[in-house]
Amino acid sequence: MNTTNSLRKHALEIFYAGLHAVKPDVCMQDHVHLTKNVLKIGNGNYDLGKYRNIFVTGFGKASGSMARALEYMLMKRIKTGIVNVPYGYTAPCKIIRINEAGHPIPDNAGIQGTREIVQLLKETQEDDLVICLISGGGSALFELPCEEITLKELQNVTGLLLKSGARIDEINAIRKHISQVKGGRLVNISKSEIVSLILSDVAHDQVETIASGPTAPDSSTFSDCKRILIKYGLLQKIPVSIMDRIQKGVDGKAEETPKATDKRFDRVSNIIIGNNRMALNHCHKKAAALGYHTCTLSSLIKGEAQEVAKVFGAIAREIHQSGNPAKTPACIIAGGETTVTVKGDGIGGRNQEFTLAAAREIDGLENTVILSAGTDGRDGNTDAAGAIADGSTITRAKYVNMDTETYLNNNDTHTFFKNLHDLINTGPTKTNVMDIMILLVASGTG
């Protein structure tokens, strides 16, 4: 096997080592331990003998698998539970009901599941324990709009926000203020002790952002919401009921979301059990074990995919020329989420866009491989997680009459890599801790 082929194999092994480490069941096993009758979660100890009943709620792409792992651990200690997941993301649970629902636009099944969760939470007592399993996608899956707002109106505003160019924290500010359950409002509903186990799909693991933070204090206000609607020119476009709700809040006539000073959060613990950094740590370990001089750049990468790719190209060439920032065989690891300013009408995603732009940067380099893939297994509007490329990718594309610039300009990176058989297809992974990027550079010809 020549070096480029073994590098490609290693890049995939390193990616999968990271991906495996953030699988919901692995994260649960790593962070949740039952010893005799004491449940240890992070630094917290929960003496199960102390609680009348244990209830399980949850929402998000990974939450079905998390529920399955928790049920396996606690078995009949769980009184009952209900978890909302996207269609196709169910898990084989016996006690906890897994309810499939719409994502990213909420639907009736999601509302109905949320009503059941709210009903369950309302019946909990001060001596109960509620375990809440939160993961990416939860914003759409755990939703009960304020009574004056219909599902149709909620769907309408969600669609408008997703298309507006607003940041996710801005979208969530609105979501939180027109909802009965988001933005920390779970403390309004349940009197119990609540421990949220969270798989983070956002940079910096802000618990108030993940799934719109149902168990976290909210730092946004009704006034912020109005500013955001003005900023994106949505004031006149959103349903009247929603504008009325926000204006009532601004006028002090609707209840604000609970803030950090609220004493009720004393009985709530929000614990991150998986995030991008944990995935990168495992990539790092795997790369080191394979003999690479390994450098983890950052788990917080952002920026336009094609421009970020240029930095990776510059690092690849530097490694060849000077052994910086790592000697060969070198492995550079990064994570986060880039963005793509879409100009064409092709099929692709940020990982495939990054990989093709990086392929252009490393064109002609021997023994150089780059990979970028989303941990959720779905990059953009495609069914691939991402793609892999090496110094011969651009040349191989020419052999099959593909012009790189044409495909990049049309954001048609999926078609490009599909034709080269260089897609990474994991299938839906049922987890999500953003993306992983891996650069491998070796010397010699192997």
Stretch that binds a copy of itself, among 56-64, 169-177, 185-193, 296-304 (CB under 8 A): 296-304
Angle value at C-alpha 171, between 191 and 122, nearest 5 degrees: 15
To the nearest whole angstrom, how small is the minimum distance from the Cβ of residue 203 to a copy of itself? 8
178 or 297: whose CB is closer to a copy of itself? 297
Binding segment (CB under 8 A) for a copy of itself, from list 141-149, 258-266, 298-306, 389-397: 298-306
Site for a copy of itself in 248-287 (CB under 8 A): 277
Q: Who's near 251: CB < 8 A, 6+ residues apart?
A: none
Supply the minimum distance, in Å, between the C-beta of residue 293 and a copy of itself.
Answer: 12
Please state the closest distance from residue 166 (CB atom) to a copy of itself, in A.
15
Q: Binding to a copy of itself by residue 204, rule CB under 8 A?
A: yes
Instruction: In whole angstroms, give the CA distance from residue 361 to residue 273.
Output: 36
Closest approach of a copy of itself to the CB of residue 322, in Å: 6
Q: Which residue bears the tokens 């793609």?
A: 387
Give CA–CA dist 411/19, Å, rounded.
Answer: 26
Cβ-based nearer residue to a copy of itself, 132 or 301? 301
List 304, 402, 418, 443, residue binding a copy of itself (CB under 8 A): 304
| Contact flag: residue 321 with a copy of itself (CB under 8 A) | yes
Using CB under 8 A, which of 299, 355, 367, 432 touches a copy of itself? 299
Is the Cβ of residue 94 or residue 327 nearer to a copy of itself in the bound state? Answer: 327
CB-wise, 139 or 413, nearer to a copy of itself?
A: 413
Q: Which one of the spans 54-62, 227-235, 318-326, 399-407 is the region binding a copy of itself (CB under 8 A)? A: 318-326
**Contact between 213 and 186 (Cβ < 8 Å):** no
The smaller minimum CB distance to a copy of itself, of residues 144 and 365, is found at: 365
Contact status: 314 vs a copy of itself (CB under 8 A): yes
CA 320 to chain centre: 34
Residue nearer to a copy of itself on the CB measure, 186 or 295: 295
- 308 counts as binding a copy of itself under rule CB under 8 A: yes
Can you tell me the distance from the alpha carbon of 71 to that of 93, in angstroms, rounded to the nearest whole number?
7
Residue nearer to a copy of itself on the CB measure, 175 or 284: 284
Amino acid letter for position 189:
I
Report which of 170, 179, 178 is spatially closest to residue 227, judged by C-alpha positions.
Answer: 170
In this complex, which beta carbon is closest to a copy of itself, that of residue 324 or of residue 395? 324
Q: Of these, 300, 383, 396, 418, which contacts a copy of itself (CB under 8 A)?
A: 300
Residues numbered 336-365 forming contacts with a copy of itself, rule: CB under 8 A? 336
Q: Which pairing describes strands 38-41 and 44-47: parallel, antiparallel, or unpaired?
A: antiparallel
Determine if 216 is a binding residue for a copy of itself (CB under 8 A): no
321 versus 401: smaller Cβ distance to a copy of itself: 321
User: Can you tell me the distance from the alpha carbon of 133 to that of 125, in angstroms, rounded to the nearest whole number?
Assistant: 19
Interaction site with a copy of itself (CB under 8 A):
204, 277, 295-304, 307-308, 310-311, 313-315, 317-318, 321-322, 324-325, 336
